[in-house]
Structures are given as C-alpha cells and as structure tokens.
C-alpha cells in the first residue's frame, strides 16, 4: 500500500506516533489526508462543524453528497477507506479552555493547529509548550492568491498577518521566549469587506503542515 513511500523513508518509524489535528477546514482537511497517505496510523481529529455548501471551493472533505455531514465523520470514512489499519479518534466539539485538558490526556506526539479562532490558537500554543509537545500552528490563509509565498518560520518572523500579530503580542506580554513554528504567507492580503478564499492557498498550507510533522517525527526517530 505504501510501497512508493517506503522508497523514501522507513515508515515503521511513524507507526507508533499519534498526531492531533485541530480543525478540518481548508487547511486541516488537507493536512489530515496527507498524514493518512503518509502512513500515520494513529490520529486524533477535532471539529464541531458540519460541511456547508460554501466549503465546496476549498475543503477536501466537501462534496455535494457530504454537505450537512459532520466533518469528523466524513474524515473518518475517508481515512479508513485509504488505510483500514487506521486508529482514529474523533471529537465532535469546539476546542476551548473547557475541554482542552481532557483532549490532552490522550497520548499525543504532534499537534497541527488548523483553526482560525485567535484566543483558542493561543490556548493550544500554550498547552503544547506546557506539555512539551511539538506542534505547528497555521496562520491566516484567506484573501491570499499565491501559495508559493507560504513559509514555515518562527512566529516572530511573520508579517502582514493579524492572527500572528495577536499571538506575538501575547508571547511578549507573557514573556514566552520559546520558538513557535508557524506557517504564514509573506503575501499582503487582498483587502475586502469579507474574507475570500480559494482552493490552493489553504491546501498548500495544509500540505506544508503535514510535511513538517512527518519530517520532524522522522528526525526525532533518527536521533
């Protein structure tokens, strides 16, 4: 099943790792499927939303026949259809301070934060730092048209991103000096009254998040 991948890496090094993906939208859905196709077999997914007709332009879980279904339910079906050996745990909830401690009782080796609620992104970052769990946090991908301008950097090197600006302010105020790996775009956003989106910028951010996780886990395994 993963013969082509085995030509690149020893997939056995990924078998016992558990990845938590928070948010299954345009970014998180692509990150999730890429992890499954990269032979990750233990995965936890969190999202409270149902698939909406407006998701069809960018979200990998969104089809005419999945509109109205919960994202975690569709994601689980897709994962098992790709790899029946998947051990997948789903949470149909909106992660916040009332439930984050319960979520993190699970064995978690890596976290992908693909949500867009700023206060809860801060919550996830601080929880991962406290628990010493590696993570990658994805900044805004709306109102952008150039996926080639996405980068993985420490958050202190970001610009043109209001989410990142708010998190940088929190880090400064709380005197948090640790590195915060994020995916952000150097592109200045297209100014509109509402946030627009396309199929390729969020998807690229999701694929970058998955590649970051896989490469980091393999680096740890090789040490």
Asked if residue 4 is part of any domain, the answer here is: no
Asked if residue 131 is part of any domain, the answer here is: yes
Give the mean model confidence (pLDDT) for residues 85-97.
97
- pLDDT at site 9: 93
Asked if residue 48 is part of any domain, the answer here is: yes
CA dihedral 62, 151, 210, 175 (to 10 degrees): -110
- Where would I find the beta strands (DSSP E) of the chain? 18-22, 42-46, 87-91, 110-113, 135-138, 150-154, 181-185
Q: Based on the structure, what is the number of domains in the chain?
A: 1
Asked if residue 55 is part of any domain, the answer here is: yes
Asked if residue 3 is part of any domain, the answer here is: no
Asked if residue 9 is part of any domain, the answer here is: no
Name the residue range of residue 173's domain.
14-222
Asked if residue 190 is part of any domain, the answer here is: yes
* pTM for the full predicted model: 0.96
- pLDDT at site 219: 84
- pLDDT at site 222: 35
pLDDT tens per residue, range 27-51: 999 999 999 999 999 999 999 999 9
- DSSP characters over 105-124: TS--SEEEE----HHHHHHH
Which CATH number goes with the domain that contains 202?
Answer: 3.40.50.720
pLDDT at 220 over 60: no
Asked if residue 67 is part of any domain, the answer here is: yes
């Amino acid at each position: 099943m993963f013969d082509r991948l085995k030509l690149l890496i020893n997939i056995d090094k990924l078998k016992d790792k558990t990845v938590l993906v928070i948010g299954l939208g345009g970014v998180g859905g692509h990150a999730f499927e890429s992890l499954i196709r990269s032979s990750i077999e233990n995965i936890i997914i969190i999202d409270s939303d149902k698939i909406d007709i407006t998701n069809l332009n960018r979200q990998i879980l969104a089809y005419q026949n999945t509109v109205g279904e919960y994202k975690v339910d569709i994601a689980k079906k897709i994962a098992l259809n790709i790899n029946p050996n998947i051990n997948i745990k789903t949470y149909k909830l909106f992660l916040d301070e009332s439930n984050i401690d319960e979520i993190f009782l699970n064995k978690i080796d890596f976290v992908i934060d693909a949500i867009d609620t700023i206060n809860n992104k801060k919550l996830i970052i601080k929880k991962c730092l406290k628990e010493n769990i590696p993570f990658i946090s994805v900044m805004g991908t709306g109102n952008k048209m150039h996926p080639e301008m996405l980068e993985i950097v420490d958050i202190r090197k970001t610009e043109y991103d209001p989410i990142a600006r708010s998190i940088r302010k929190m880090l400064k105020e709380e005197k948090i000096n640790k590195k915060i790996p994020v995916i952000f775009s150097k592109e200045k956003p297209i100014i509109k009254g509402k946030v627009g989106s396309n199929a390729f910028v969020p998807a690229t951010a999701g694929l970058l998040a998955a590649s970051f996780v896989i490469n980091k886990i393999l680096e740890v395994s090789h040490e």
